[in-house]
Structure 1
Amino acid sequence: MYILYTVITSLVCFLILKWMKRRRYCTDVKRLDGKTVLITGGNSGIGKETAVALAIRGARVIIACRDVDKAQKAVREIKARSHNVNVVYMELDLANMRSIREFCTSFLQKEKRLNILINNAGIPSVLDWTDDNFSMCFGVNHLGHFLLTNLLLGRLKESAPSRVITLTCDNYKYQKLDFQDLNYNLLPFFTYCRSKLANIYFTQELARMTDGKGVTAYAVHPGYVQSNWTCHFSILFRILMQVIMFMFFVPCELGAQTVIYCAVSDTVTDNNGGYFTDCRPATLRPFAKDPGVAKKLWEASERLVRLA
């Protein structure tokens, strides 16, 4: 009787976990031949899986990250898995404004098209600072991508129709922005939440500013994914999180599906500036849909990154 009870309990737990980890696949097989895609942090995790999927569809894929060795290894893997040799790497450090500006200058010289920009790279909840004295989460997750997108916006307009996809997270709902202290760096988790909320406001304001100019923008919550974000923490924490991620988080391939969906689907254009998860539009908390706050954040970000 005990054995039967154990088996039934285990089966129920397995089915519950399987249900919790369910995700939709992007079934749109639209080709991207002749299109150029730029993915920040495309050397691992969701970024790499997205790169493979879009390369399979025929796109020229550029992955931008700071680790040369990892990037070169990722390029070889993406080429092999996608059977597409049109995959390259460019060096970019989103924690350094000079690096971002140099990257954009080089990109604009080399690349005549930019059809899809995927702001994928991100820093988890860490107490650290960028080279320009911004909190690491806010500096990389929001300001770095804000500057990158703005410096490439002209090329995106020239390549219209084009898209900007920015990865965020549903934990945005646990914090609100404090314009007296945007560079907040006291409690790591709250700092991360604020940076993800900033990603949402950025997407909304970008969509408003480029409305009718051939550029659309989308914020994507990929779900909770078994990526390598724990590398920033202690070994003990990593071991603990590996167990939790195995039980409750989804593989990177599944996490990339909504990003891929927003990159290729024609239906998403009806939700310009929208928030997506599980390959469909999702509802935001009311405070995260305030156009006044989005505009105020945009203007504050322009001053912080010294964007003329």
Structure 2
Amino acid sequence: MGHGTVKQPQAKVNKQVPTTGSTHKHTGSSQKQHGGKPGGSGEKPAPPPKVAPGRTMGREKAIIWEDDNDVDFEDITFVVPIVISVIILLVFFLRKYIRWTVPCQSSNRIDGKTVVITGANTGIGRATATELARRGGRVVMGCRDRKKGEAVAIQIRTKTHNPDVYCYELDLASLTSIKEFVDDFNNREPTLHVLINNAAYMGPQSTTMDGYERCFGVNYLGHFYLTYLLKDKLRRGAPSRVINLISDTYSKARLNFDDLPLTPYDIKQAYARSKLCMVMFTSELHRRLAGDIIHVYGVHPGWVCTDILRNWPGVAGNILRTVSRVLFKSPEDGSQTVLFCAVGEKMREMSGKVLENCNIFKVKNYAKDREQCERLWNLSLNLCGLESDIPADKRDPGEKGPPAAVQDVGPREAEPKKEK
């Protein structure tokens, strides 16, 4: 029993102090207890206990960490709040940047002046119609859905106390509907002072009633045809204004006159191409109508939360719609530059240019190329069944009849059928 009590503390000492020096000290003390000298009895001293290198290294590391007072970054509860805070901060500043807006710098009223706005039942068009009605304008809303448009017109009349807000049916995907809208407008209105080409489509591949690719047909060709048919009313209302809504995405597109159907089809490319056409149309229309004191402006409203993304399919569409609600401008903010172009003073020098946040927006040179703009103009006349401005002896062979570039786009059967 006595020997057992002596061995137990020795074992504890060996475990607590695994180093060689401490082991020798313990051996010497045990030799003194027995009254012997080291090696005196001929017995070899007990070797020090072996400690696994891994265990020793691990304990040394643990001691170093404790001595240096370092933080264990493996603890995820410390890292996650920092990451979340950084993300929230980035989103906050990104939202501020995207939503930065210069308000309309003019408080002018437009009492007695007539304004036509396409796509005016929602988004930027609705916000613009509301503000122009508040400023005394006679607002004509061109809407594809007559019932929805009339409901919005009633709300605007009630909100602004302006009874001169009307809704006409206008489907920019149909040349026949555009012609009927213009005939109806000509019968009711003597003049036109401001035309705002706002409506747009973005979505899966489809065609207009006349067989053209829908983005190209609605966003550009329909507005071209509408503006062309209303130019006499604009001359009577001179000085008058035409405002075309464009997008900075135009810079990502190139116009291939031999591939109007856009094969292979891509939603972003189709939309960008249609906005490139609107930039070119703005430049060419200014050159042709400046002498009639009709000023033409392009407006890039920025990234605005509207219904333009409602047709984007799949999960990507859901994500984009959610992001737009969080980050993008409101329609009221997006309409400020449009309002500035509609009611601002001393705007003559800005005609033919594109504006953003009430300032001139620099446009790529290829989008202002005169030869390409003229070619697009004359192609558009042919697509709409109008007479080309180019003399017959100077036209390309493919432009003497329906242009060869659009033979694969689709038939234009809607107009003849309805006329019968």
| Rounded Cα–Cα distance in structure 1 between residues aligned with 2:272 and 2:85 | 39
Of the candidates 121, 129, 139, which is equivalent to residue 43 of structure 1?
121
CA-to-partner distance for each residue in 1:147-177, whole Å, 9 max, x for gaps?
Answer: 1000000010011010000111100001111
1:49-60 mapped onto 2 (5 Å cutoff): 49-60=127-138
Contact in 1 for aligned 2:204/2:313 (Cα 8 Å): no
1:1-308 mapped onto 2 (5 Å cutoff): 5=82, 9=86, 10-11=88-89, 13-184=91-262, 186-234=265-313, 236-308=315-387
SS at match of 1:191: helix
| Rounded Cα–Cα distance in structure 2 between residues aligned with 1:75 and 1:262 | 22
Contact in 2 for aligned 1:147/1:307 (Cα 8 Å): no
| Rounded Cα–Cα distance in structure 2 between residues aligned with 1:184 and 1:205 | 23
Per-residue deviation at 1:237? 4.1
CA-to-partner distance for each residue in 1:243-276, whole Å, 9 max, x for gaps?
Answer: 2113331111111111111111123321111011
| Rounded Cα–Cα distance in structure 1 between residues aligned with 2:197 and 2:386 | 18
Task: Single out whichever of 159-168 and 245-254 deviates more from structure 2.
Answer: 245-254
Contact in 2 for aligned 1:204/1:294 (Cα 8 Å): yes
Per-residue deviation at 1:242? 2.5
CA-to-partner distance for each residue in 1:108-146, whole Å, 9 max, x for gaps?
Answer: 111111000000011114300001000000011111010
| Rounded Cα–Cα distance in structure 1 between residues aligned with 2:91 and 2:204 | 33
Task: Give the number of aligned pairs.
Answer: 308
Distance 1:72 1:8, change over 3 A: same
Letter in 2 for 1:18: K
| Rounded Cα–Cα distance in structure 1 between residues aligned with 2:94 and 2:171 | 40
Contact in 2 for aligned 1:126/1:137 (Cα 8 Å): no
SS at match of 1:108: helix
Contact in 1 for aligned 2:215/2:274 (Cα 8 Å): yes
Q: What TM-score does the superposition give when structure 2 sets the normalisation length?
A: 0.70
Identity %: 37
Task: Single out whichever of 31-40 and 75-84 deviates more from structure 2.
Answer: 75-84
| Rounded Cα–Cα distance in structure 2 between residues aligned with 1:262 and 1:145 | 18
SS at match of 2:295: strand
| Rounded Cα–Cα distance in structure 2 between residues aligned with 1:137 and 1:16 | 29
Q: What TM-score does the superposition give when structure 1 sets the normalisation length?
A: 0.95
| Rounded Cα–Cα distance in structure 1 between residues aligned with 2:108 and 2:170 | 29
Contact in 1 for aligned 2:204/2:267 (Cα 8 Å): yes
Letter in 2 for 1:205: E
| Rounded Cα–Cα distance in structure 2 between residues aligned with 1:133 and 1:4 | 55
Contact in 1 for aligned 2:98/2:303 (Cα 8 Å): no
Distance 1:35 1:189, change over 3 A: same
Per-residue deviation at 1:17? 2.2
Per-residue deviation at 1:298? 0.3
SS at match of 1:267: coil
| Rounded Cα–Cα distance in structure 2 between residues aligned with 1:204 and 1:251 | 28
| Rounded Cα–Cα distance in structure 2 between residues aligned with 1:114 and 1:130 | 27
Per-residue deviation at 1:192? 1.2
| Rounded Cα–Cα distance in structure 1 between residues aligned with 2:211 and 2:94 | 44
Letter in 2 for 1:148: L
| Rounded Cα–Cα distance in structure 1 between residues aligned with 2:251 and 2:94 | 25
Distance 1:295 1:256, change over 3 A: same
Structure 2, unaligned runs of 5 or more: 1-77, 388-420
Distance 1:69 1:7, change over 3 A: same
Per-residue deviation at 1:13? 3.8
Structure ranking higher on relative contact order (CA contacts 8 Å, 6+ apart): 1
SS at match of 1:143: helix
Letter in 2 for 1:291: R
